[in-house]
A and B are shown apart, each in its own frame.
Chain A
Amino acid sequence: MGQMGFFTDTTLCIGCKACEVACKQWNQLPADGYTFTGHSYDNTGALSATTWRHVAFIEHSQPANGTGKSVNWLMMSDVCKHCTYAGCMEACPTGAIIRNEFGDVFVQPDICNGCGYCVPSCPFGVVERSRDTGLAAKCTLCYDRQKDGIEPACAKACPTDSITFGDLDELKARARKRVHTLHERGETAAYLYGVDEDTSVGDLNAFFLLMDRPSVYNLPEKPRLPQNNLVPGFMASLIAASFLTLTTAFSLWRRGRK
């Protein structure tokens, strides 16, 4: 089975939030309340344990290239990135977070015991512990739908095909072609986020075509795999532990001589 994933082309997003709604409906996720953030049309805020698709709205008050309308919109449907080297999956001490046969990073709800270590281990701030169930929850890439051979709910609902689902190799080829087309049309800011980049999380199985810097979309500029700190950390512990043992032994030895 080939690796499956999402390609989210933000240039096609119209901000309808059909993906958010479809995701909530299919996955039977509870509502998050009626909050008014004041941040453009984004009243969702961020991905959470009960929000697995989130449409970001960015208003640029001046056009990027000096022409066009006075407000330049950027919209992006954010989702779990299903990293090649996933921080949450490596951190998970129960083995609840696995990579399934479609290449998705999947939290097994019957194994997870809600330790919460995956939450700070995600460099993208995606996974969260649910207050209702006590379990870590995030996008499953509609594992259940994929098993039946149908595409995830968000991709199905997307009216402009901003979200496309499919075999990763095909998606990447299509995405590279799309960037090329946009560059030819003069949209030189277009680039792919999560593909062909030199980061320790590897390629993202859910990658994006962006029109501005990642931080504008609340994405990390250079995501790092947190587990890269393990070896230096344990080395420091080893040094400290040896120092402790030696000083304690020394003080005992001196006491014994008195």
Chain B
Amino acid sequence: MNKARTYYDLPLLKKPSWSWEIMLYFFLGGLAGGSFLVSTLADLLGSKQDAAVVRAGRFLALICILISPILLIKDLGRPERFHHMLRVLKLRSAMSLGTWALTIFGICCGFTTGHQLAKDGLLNWFPLLARFMKAMPVKIIESIGSIFGLFVASYTGVLLASTAVPVWGRCFSRLVFPPRSPVSRCSSH
């Protein structure tokens, strides 16, 4: 009789401790990356009528990317130690790669939105800053930002896929996450 093939049907793996913050971040990260990509491409390839898309994309990306770290830090067991993520870069850890990509993308978002603000005349109270923001090579910054934005939008799928949880590890989860960005794309249009 080989009845006991499992150990009292208890789960072998531990339940992840992540809560709603992480789920919301997965969405916001995708939204930020997707909208930033659209605004960049509209700026690089689009015509004058696309200026509204460029502006909307930049603002939306910045808002999402400002909320994201708050959510991520809130979910930590020791939120005051969030900066420990920035003491190493580990190529085999999707979360480490994501942390750095999020940091770089956030900086790019900040500069491009600053450029947008200056262009819209909202920084006129700070003439020096406005001049600096206008003079920046924004096309280069947003191109670099788009690459990191796409990474931010899609690495979360890889992060889940590279765990021991069997369902997350199956190929479908790798495919489910990157296409969240089309949703972001529609919403920024």
**Contact among B75, B77, B181, B182 with A133 in the assembled complex (CB-CB below 8 Å):** B77
Q: Which of B1-51 contact A (CB under 8 A)?
A: 1, 3-8, 10-18, 34, 37-38, 41-42, 45-47, 49-50
Given contacts A39-B8, A216-B6, A244-B181, contact A233 B162 (CB under 8 A): yes
Interface of A is mostly: mixed
Name the distance in Å between A83's Cβ and chain B's nearest Cβ. Answer: 12
Q: Are A119 and B14 touching (Cβ within 8 A)?
A: yes
Q: Are A117 and B95 touching (Cβ within 8 A)?
A: yes
Asked whether any CB of chain A lies closer than 8 Å to the CB of B158, the reply is yes
**Contact among B12, B45, B76 with A253 in the assembled complex (CB-CB below 8 Å):** B45
Q: Chain A interface residue count: which class?
A: 35 or more
Q: Which of A65-119 contact B (CB under 8 A)?
A: 87, 90-96, 111-117, 119
Asked whether any CB of chain A lies closer than 8 Å to the CB of B59, the reply is no
Contact partners of A61 in chain B: CB under 8 A: 1, 3
Given contacts A115-B77, A119-B16, A220-B12, contact A256 B162 (CB under 8 A): no
Q: Are A230 and B158 touching (Cβ within 8 A)?
A: yes
Name the distance in Å between A223's Cβ and chain B's nearest Cβ. Answer: 8
Asked whether any CB of chain B lies closer than 8 Å to the CB of A120, the reply is yes
Q: Are B8 and A134 touching (Cβ within 8 A)?
A: no
Asked whether any CB of chain A lies closer than 8 Å to the CB of B174, the reply is yes
Q: How many angstroms between the C-alpha atoms of A189 and B6 in the bound complex?
A: 17
Q: How many angstroms between the C-alpha atoms of A227 and B93 in the bound complex?
A: 8
Type the 1/0 row for B57-94, where 1 means its CB is closer than 8 Å to any CB of A. 00000000000000000011111011011011010111
Contact partners of B3 in chain A: CB under 8 A: 61
Asked whether any CB of chain A lies closer than 8 Å to the CB of B157, the reply is yes
**Contact among A60, A129, A216 with B77 in the assembled complex (CB-CB below 8 Å):** A129
Closest to A219 in B: B12
**Contact among B15, B85, B157 with A233 in the assembled complex (CB-CB below 8 Å):** B157
Q: Are B17 and A129 touching (Cβ within 8 A)?
A: yes
Give the segment of B103-111, B112-120, B130-138, B163-171 that binds chain A: B163-171
Asked whether any CB of chain B lies closer than 8 Å to the CB of A217, the reply is yes
Q: Are A226 and B169 touching (Cβ within 8 A)?
A: yes
Name the distance in Å between A110's Cβ and chain B's nearest Cβ. Answer: 9
Given contacts A93-B93, A113-B76, contact A226 B157 (CB under 8 A): no
Contact partners of A230 in chain B: CB under 8 A: 92, 94, 158, 162
Contact partners of A224 in chain B: CB under 8 A: 164
Name the distance in Å between B95's Cβ and chain A's nearest Cβ. Answer: 4
Q: Are B85 and A113 touching (Cβ within 8 A)?
A: yes
Q: Chain B interface residue count: which class?
A: 35 or more
**Contact among A96, A117, A130 with B84 in the assembled complex (CB-CB below 8 Å):** A96
Contact partners of B84 in chain A: CB under 8 A: 94, 96, 111-113
Name the distance in Å between B40's Cβ and chain A's nearest Cβ. Answer: 9
Given contacts A93-B99, A236-B174, A245-B41, contact A121 B162 (CB under 8 A): yes
Contact partners of B155 in chain A: CB under 8 A: 234, 237
Contact partners of B151 in chain A: CB under 8 A: 237, 241
Type the 1/0 row for A218-254, where 1 means its CB is closer than 8 Å to any CB of B. 1110001011111011101100110011001100110
Asked whether any CB of chain B lies closer than 8 Å to the CB of A9, the reply is no
Q: Are B7 and A217 touching (Cβ within 8 A)?
A: yes
* A-B contact list, 21 entries, CB within 8 Å: A39-B10, A58-B4, A61-B3, A87-B164, A90-B92, A93-B95, A113-B81, A117-B159, A119-B16, A119-B17, A120-B16, A226-B162, A232-B174, A233-B94, A233-B161, A241-B151, A241-B178, A244-B181, A248-B185, A253-B45, A256-B50
Enumerate chain A interface residues (CB-CB to B < 8 A): 37, 39, 42, 45-46, 56, 58-62, 87, 90-96, 111-117, 119-130, 133-136, 213, 215-220, 224, 226-230, 232-234, 236-237, 240-241, 244-245, 248-249, 252-253, 255-256
Enumerate chain B interface residues (CB-CB to A < 8 A): 1, 3-8, 10-18, 34, 37-38, 41-42, 45-47, 49-50, 75-79, 81-82, 84-85, 87-88, 90, 92-96, 99, 146, 150-151, 153-155, 157-159, 161-165, 168-169, 171, 174-175, 177-179, 181-182, 185
| Top-7 shortest CB links A-B | A114-B77, A134-B77, A240-B178, A218-B7, A233-B158, A113-B81, A237-B154
